[in-house]
Amino acid sequence: MNEPRYQRRKDDRPAEITQAAFSTFVEKGYAGTRLEEVARRAGVSKGLLYLYFKTKEELFKSVVKNFVVPRLHELETTIASTDLGAEAFLRGPFVDFAHTITRSPVGKIVRLLVAEGPKHPDLLQFYWDNVVSRGIKMIGALLEKGVAAGEFRRSPVTEQPLLFIMPVVFSVIFRLLFGKQDVDTDRLIDTQIDLLITQLKGSTK
């Protein structure tokens, strides 16, 4: 007769709660996020959160794991299945990715990571292993491919994939902080990548 007040949906709860936490973290920041509010958005009680996630920190890790890592995965997949040359890939899909991520909510999680990282060493370790380190390797491999194909010459740049990652991270953060000052982060990214490629293609001296 009466509607049930709730349904048991053990399997879906973690994903739903993580989704709610993602939006809330993005809007309110880590410290600013009330678990009460996460619960409300997920349509559950606060107590239930603690059944699936031991602490607030656990919940944050779940967000990083489920929303940031997959993005990198996409890029890895794209790179693996592309038939573009190294230069074309960098100027095309990679730059697009950089522009997109700069505006995406995922970018805000990156900022949160900067903000909260030092307080959560194991989260940083996880992020290093699953995002940064793999990102570096990915670019590194791409540059090697370029060298092998005779597109690029070796130089300090081929040894430092971070030079490609730097403008992406910088733009994400810069835009979040000073977005209202209308700095053209897209152009910054474009110029940097162009610069790097020019250097890579310059004749060996």
Partner DNA sequence: TTCGTTACTGACTCATTGGTCAGCAAGAAT
Partner DNA sequence: ATTCTTGCTGACCAATGAGTCAGTAACGAA
Stretch 57-86 residues interacting with a copy of itself (CB under 8 A): none
Q: Give dist(CA 104, CA 108) in Å, integer.
A: 7
Which entry of DNA, a copy of itself, none binds 56, CB below 5 to 8 A by partner kind? DNA
Region from 58-66, 76-84, 145-153, 172-180 binding a copy of itself, contact rule CB under 8 A = 172-180
Region from 40-48, 108-116, 169-177, 188-196 binding DNA, contact rule CB under 7 A = 40-48
Q: Give dist(CA 176, CA 107) in Å, integer.
A: 8
Q: Give dist(CA 172, CA 181) in Å, integer.
A: 14
Q: Where are the alpha helices (DSSP H) in the chain?
A: 13-28, 35-42, 46-52, 56-63, 69-81, 86-89, 95-103, 105-116, 121-127, 133-148, 162-178, 185-201
Which entry of DNA, a copy of itself, none binds 130, CB below 5 to 8 A by partner kind? none
Q: Out of 43, 70, 195, 201, which residue is the one contacting a copy of itself (CB under 8 A)?
A: 195
Q: Name which of 71, 136, 133 is nearest 102 in CA terms.
A: 71
Q: Which spans of this chain sit near a copy of itself (rule: CB under 8 A)?
A: 29, 31-32, 111, 113-119, 124, 128, 132-133, 156-157, 160, 162-163, 166-167, 169-170, 173-174, 176-178, 181, 183, 187-188, 191-192, 194-196, 198-199
